[in-house]
Amino acid sequence: MDELMLDGNAAGGVLGEVFAVEMTTATMMCGGCGAAGPVGAMHLFRGAGIVLRCPQCDNALVKITEGGGRMWFDFGGMQTLEIPM
């Protein structure tokens, strides 16, 4: 792993600020290759924001940025997000 990459569990805090459920166990389906797995198994890259990537094809599933008391989510690389209730 490179020093800017963690596993998707590192996104638990920021996702927990917005969603009222445990998000690391939610299932994402990649819009690129169709692979599905828990958020905690995705690859997380830190930089100017957070990018969650598919561990199978490296497709950017979710991009998250924060600033000025706001948070932006781009779910463009994801086919579905299944959240356990």
The first and second tokens of residue 31, run together, are 């819009």
Q: Is the pTM of this model over 0.85?
A: no
What is the residue type of 82?
Answer: E
Task: Return the pLDDT at 27.
Answer: 96
Task: Return the pLDDT at 11.
Answer: 83
- pLDDT per residue, tens digit, the chain (85 aa), is 577 788 888 888 888 777 778 888 999 999 999 999 999 999 999 998 999 999 999 999 999 999 999 999 999 999 999 988 7
Backbone angles phi, psi at 47, to 5 degrees: -175, -125
